[in-house]
Amino acid sequence: MSITMNKEKMQAFANELAKEIKTPDDLGQLSAMLTKMTVETALMSELDFHLGYDKHQPNELNSGNNRNGYST
């Protein structure tokens, strides 16, 4: 996927978010929130790719520990 492919969607999203920005502090909070959400989403996608299955999906080993945070 290329970022340029989604440029129009991203511009529409940025325009919508900009409507809520009233002060420099609002911009800082929005920036921090977007950065956090983007990094967390990227890390989860990387983990899905590395493990070969999505969170809460049973894996081929049937270990019972389907990335739910618990293991023996």
Dihedral sign computed on CA atoms, order 5, 9, 11, 14: negative
Could you give the CA distance from residue 72 to residue 67 in angstroms, rounded to a whole number? Answer: 12
Give residue-wise pLDDT tens across range 10-48: 899 999 999 989 999 999 999 999 999 999 999 999 988
Under the banding of pLDDT at 50, 70 and 90, the label for residue 63 is low
10 membership: H or E segment, kind and range: helix 7-18
If one compares 57 and 15, the residue with the highest pLDDT of the two is 15
Phi and psi for 46 in degrees, rounded to 5? -65, -40
Query: Quick one: pLDDT at residue 8?
Result: 87
* Residue that wins the pLDDT comparison between 25 and 55: 25
Q: Where are the domains of the chain?
A: 20-51
